[in-house]
Structure 1
Amino acid sequence: MSLTMRPATEADLDRLVDVYFSAFGGNPINDRVFPASSTQSRPFWRKNLADNLKEDHVRFQVMETIPTSDSEEKQIAAFAVWNAPLKATDAIPAMPPLSAWPSDGDLEAASEFFYDLERQHKKFMGPTSDSEDQKQRPHWYLELIATHRDFQGRGAAGALLRYGEQQADAEGVPCYLDATPDGRPVYTSAGHGFREVETKQYLGGAYEHVFMIRDPRTSS
């Protein structure tokens, strides 16, 4: 099976939501905030992903299968939402207001986890000086990456990671992401080169999340 990368489009949205829930099903945070019984979770994610398509600084890429016969159809195997660097005077993007999250999910867990992701983003990629005008350090931010379970282990996520890493290296800026512990060995591997800067516990210690930075590499 071969895969190819292309920008996401509005026509992809329903499949992208499928990929998201396939990738994160069983994750303690996801299961609490977006339970299987929720009628609001899919619309929430569809809107979230659609909004990303409208942002000029977002590089929304998908990995899609290449059919080997006329009877095969293309399938989106994975996607990544990379945020290109904003100006140092621009604020780090905020999470949606709590009122936008599914009310038939666990809003307390949503508030505890997702708003802390925003605080951590500001903590690690905030200004490097005391300048009142500087609000962030320019960086490439991996907002979200997801691979459908049927396609995991086939190189889709690695290609999507390299997309942003190569852009960051060319611009001489770091990358930032937060991840599940399962993703730690991938991100910290020699091929990608992220370093762990903090690990935090959520849901009373039932869930752990990792925060990582990758320094730019210069070509030899």
Structure 2
Amino acid sequence: MEYAKKMADRMPAAIPLPEEFLTLFEWMETNDFVMPSGAYVGDNLGLLGTNDDVQSECVTAILFRIATPGQAREFGEGWFGDVVPDIEHRLVPFARTGGDGSYAAFWLDDEGYRQIVHLGSEGLVCLLGRTPLDFLRLLAIGYQEISGDCLGFPDEPPAEACGNSAYRAWLADRYGVTIPERAREILGDFPNEEVEISDDPFWQWVRKTQDERDRA
């Protein structure tokens, strides 16, 4: 499984790729749910269906591609400057989640736990579930993107739901999970772009780290 192995090998030792993601990448590769990246020659993007499915909005438009260490460093420094040593070992973007330039990433928190987080182009930052399987269940709900309505209106089911039929069937069969109807059932309470205080640990870390950057 060339694609799955290539993605797994990019993860730093402190943040190994979750087993659920490796299995997902192998499923994508087996079903030819990958397409060449236009921006990164030689890389493929993992999809929840075919490219035609993405274009016709039959599946949630998320593009999986784990950043190389150098790209992760550049991404992290774009958010935090140089105040986090070896940021590429703490924050690794793994998927483009919206046409607005939002990303999902693996984050190593201050206690040494791996978390999955959202970094929005408009400044929204938050956890995306408690476990890797939570995140995979979130994808299956059928929002067009894991930004937009998913995070803007989490109490509402998708306005124009994507079927995600092959992915939903695989996820339910492989892990025996149920798929909720709304994002809130997985995400719980999370901050929006305008809040000034939040219990979300990633929101708190981002604000603290950006304050350190701004004081430097």
> Shared fold by TM > 0.5?
no
The structure with the largest strand share of the pair is 1
* Structure number with higher relative contact order (C-alpha < 8 Å, ≥ 6 residues apart): 1
- Between Structure 1 and Structure 2, whose CA radius of gyration is higher? 1
- Normalising to structure 1: TM-score of the pair? 0.28
- Normalising to structure 2: TM-score of the pair? 0.28
